[in-house]
Structure 1
């Protein structure tokens, strides 16, 4: 027998076994504010389920509560999807485990990789240079596009500048609304006004129509699969445009 031997500890494998062993003990809860309010502000790994099927595994480096609320907001603004279908489970982890990617370790050891981990669900807004991306069938934003019929409760009747309206819309919309000049300082925003009619609250679609008609020629608002952009670049085409709003010609 040798006095020395090689020993390799399978840290990732051990962590995966412990994580997988805990999953059956977790009871999924609705992805709703009343339930999310009880989640702690701690790092963790979590699972999202749609109609009982695990569709996404992710991690929260700082706050599990904040990350789940982010997903709630995103999913609340999508077509072909109901929040009533969505549930979640989660495990709190000490911060030292987060850098080794516990969600990737867990995914690797599942029988099948959750579908939303490979279809673009977890992506953030990547900026204007990606607006021309040609999304493939099966991409999350194609399957569940941004809902243009979202009602904007914070938009009030009366005359408002385009600047005020787009800032309110950006805060309220549950998906990205990106426009030229990050802080809405373009002079056309202040010089253009919209008279919001009294009555029922406007939908995002109705607001985009009013704003596009109020701005000078050259502006367009484009609804892409997962978000909306507004730039002074008409008639620049977008491959994946679902709807284009602009001032009537003539």
Structure 2
């Protein structure tokens, strides 16, 4: 037998799948990310690509239903400064449920890496609420939330009926396109249930509504606008969150005062790993993460 008679053969099923998925997605023309276009999609699992100004920026999957997953992205983008929905587009393909086990979005991230990449997959775009322990962390300077921070002028419409603050906050949280977390401790909940608020019909933005709510809470409460979300807690003294854009605080005088924050960011430009925590952003609608 000669060397010409023997060779190695390795079957790469994942590469073949990635190639075919990419070919299917690349053959499609992006359409605007609008509710009307999402309504035309079937309630099926799939893989999708988001575009900003015609450039591929994010690839993800929907384990159960593409419309609901893409609606989450639509809502998130709608509540960001410097980012408008008319700049966003998407393409998608339906896939078998079994394909989720091989993480098709990871294969596509690797494939697109040599073609300009998908930057939002490594900058925190898909992240969920990091939790109270991470509120004081410095956000990386190249993070999605730094480039496109929450819009404090996001439109909000709440009932003008007088309700407990707890109820108003619950309704506000449901309305907002960004994360809003507030004190749910036993003592904090009792205070918010004891105080009532009637939101003026003229208060039609997050900023205006939160200022009205803050006015009826006792002194020492503080609402902080972090790059990617807002929080409301009792703080014994004014707390400077390192990456915060600013905060409202209820003073002893009864005034609600807005103060600019430090807006400090981690200068490290190392990309955020696409790990299990980042991928939590691909949870199905209704998951709290």
Same-fold call, TM > 0.5?
A: yes
User: 1:91 deviation in Å?
Assistant: 1.1
Q: Which moved more, 1:7-16 or 1:43-52?
A: 7-16
Change (3 A) 1:27 1:109: same
CA deviations 1:31-80 (Å, max 9, x no partner) are 10000011122221110001100010111112111110110111111110
Q: RMSD value over aligned CA atoms? A: 2.2
Asked whether 1:245 is paired with 2:248, we answer yes
SS of residue paired to 1:196: coil
Asked whether 1:107 is paired with 2:118, we answer no
SS of residue paired to 1:186: helix
* Contiguous gaps of at least 5 residues in structure 1: none
User: 1:218 deviation in Å?
Assistant: 2.2
Contact 1:209 1:246 in 2 (8 A): no
CA deviations 1:194-226 (Å, max 9, x no partner) are 24334x342111111121221112211111111
Q: Give every structure 1 segment of 4 or more consecutive aligned residues whose post-TM-superposition deviation is greater than 3 Å.
A: 4-7, 182-185
Distance (whole Å) between structure 1 residues aligned to residue 189 and residue 169 of structure 2:
12
Taking structure 2 as the reference length, the TM-score comes to 0.80
Asked whether 1:125 is paired with 2:129, we answer yes
CA deviations 1:131-159 (Å, max 9, x no partner) are 11201212100111111101212x13343
Taking structure 1 as the reference length, the TM-score comes to 0.92
SS of residue paired to 2:61: strand
Determine the structure 1 residue equivalent to 2:155. 151
Distance (whole Å) between structure 1 residues aligned to residue 110 and residue 32 of structure 2:
26
Contact 1:151 1:201 in 2 (8 A): no
Distance (whole Å) between structure 2 residues aligned to residue 183 and residue 167 of structure 1:
16
* Contiguous gaps of at least 5 residues in structure 2: 254-289
SS of residue paired to 2:209: helix
